[in-house]
Homo-oligomer: A and B are copies of this chain.
Amino acid sequence: MAVRVAVAGASGYAGGELLRLLLAHPNVEIGALTGNSNVGQRLGALQPHLVPLADRVLEPTTAEVLSGHHVVFLALPHGQSAAVAEQLGPDTLVVDMGADFRLKEPGDWEKFYGSSHAGTWPYGLPELPGARAALEGTKRIAVPGCYPTAVSLALFPAYQAGLAEAEAVVVAASGTSGAGKAPKAHLLGSEVMGSMSPYGVGGGHRHTPEMIQNLSGAAGVPVSVSFTPTLAPMPRGILATCSAKAKPGVSAESLRAVYEKAFADEPFVHLLPAGQWPATASVYGSNAVQVQVAYDSAAGRIIVISAIDNLTKGTAGGALQSMNIALGLEETTGLSTIGVAP
């Protein structure tokens, strides 16, 4: 049986990446594609890399257009998903690629997003403890943010195993596609090529409470996260450098053993052999996650570094992985662990 899928927000980077992956999914039939300001345009003009869909035309993002599909993906600006989801009915699998349903604490939502909280849906990061069970059979999925995906996968095993003190420090570099396709002067090629710069420093980035939620859940105690995102001169990829003070008794060996066990059965997360370090190029366009751990005995810290493609595992690939679980399909269907390199 073909799973009929609609994509709301098909002209942006998240929507485009999702369509790229859906085209390779053997069980999926691509239905309605909707946009906003570009309704009526050919997809070939907006997403010229999606050759098989070039002649598709964008429709308006309405419940009428989106109904009649088994799955509806929402790649909409924050705050717009709830109104659409309500009209889609409980039998439609709705996968929200925005932030609206990720946070459990209404206060966190209000503080970081400035509006009232829409609710909390099962969280689409299957590798987290307990996440897969919550996704099986669900009709609503909240896809994680790209940074929280990279950071939570890097640090949850250390917290789950009680190896790390409850204060994490994270510095992550992201490719520019994470900032979206809306034209802004500071995102021009002339500005970003040859430059690294931070933003949202000091705890202000909206992905911070999501990381705290995930790591606190793994640790069983509240974990603070000092998070600094930086913009890197590349279109795709996140490299997250995550660290925390080691609890007494931690050794390089015990640390590695915990990570080997945590990811032993994970199809997409790869703990690299000792001596090899993650690189975003290696996961370009793939759903794979590269992870490496180190114990700095002089500083007494655990360092975990992860690399993902922010658009694939960080957004659209993660969304598809969770859809597969929700629909009872093989989790890896239509998803690759092979990066496009060099």
A positions within 8 Å CB-CB of B: 13, 16, 20, 23-24, 42, 44-45, 47-52, 54, 167, 169, 171, 173, 175-177, 179, 181-185, 187-199, 201-203, 208, 224-226, 228, 230, 232-237, 239, 241, 243, 245, 270, 272-273, 276-286, 288, 290, 292, 294-301, 303, 305, 307, 336-342
A-B contact pairs, 22 of them (CB 8 A): A24-B338, A49-B281, A49-B339, A51-B337, A179-B190, A181-B342, A182-B185, A183-B184, A188-B189, A195-B281, A197-B279, A198-B239, A199-B277, A201-B277, A201-B292, A203-B297, A203-B299, A226-B303, A228-B305, A230-B239, A232-B232, A233-B234
Given A173-B230, A183-B187, A189-B193, the answer on whether A285 and B340 have CB atoms closer than 8 Å is: yes
B189 pairs with A187, CB closer than 8 A: yes
B201 pairs with A305, CB closer than 8 A: yes
B337 pairs with A305, CB closer than 8 A: no
**A20 partner residues in chain B, CB cutoff 8 A:** 338, 340
Contact of A228 among B201, B241, B279 (CB under 8 A): B241
How far is B234's CA from A297's CA once the two chains are assembled, in angstroms?
31
When C-beta atoms are compared, the residue in chain B nearest to A281 turns out to be: B195
When C-beta atoms are compared, the residue in chain B nearest to A53 turns out to be: B338
A194 pairs with B338, CB closer than 8 A: no
**A198 partner residues in chain B, CB cutoff 8 A:** 239, 241, 277-278, 305
**A270 partner residues in chain B, CB cutoff 8 A:** 51, 54
Given A188-B189, A299-B167, the answer on whether A342 and B177 have CB atoms closer than 8 Å is: yes
How far is B228's CA from A241's CA once the two chains are assembled, in angstroms?
8
A237 pairs with B169, CB closer than 8 A: no
B233 pairs with A193, CB closer than 8 A: yes
How far is B42's CA from A193's CA once the two chains are assembled, in angstroms?
24
Given A176-B193, A193-B235, A239-B198, the answer on whether A340 and B167 have CB atoms closer than 8 Å is: no
B234 pairs with A193, CB closer than 8 A: yes
A226 pairs with B280, CB closer than 8 A: no
**A224 partner residues in chain B, CB cutoff 8 A:** 298-300
B49 pairs with A282, CB closer than 8 A: yes
Most buried by B among A190, A232, A241, A279: A190
Most buried by B among A45, A188, A277: A188
Given A226-B299, A296-B226, the answer on whether A337 and B187 have CB atoms closer than 8 Å is: no
When C-beta atoms are compared, the residue in chain B nearest to A278 turns out to be: B197
Most buried by B among A179, A191, A208, A300: A191
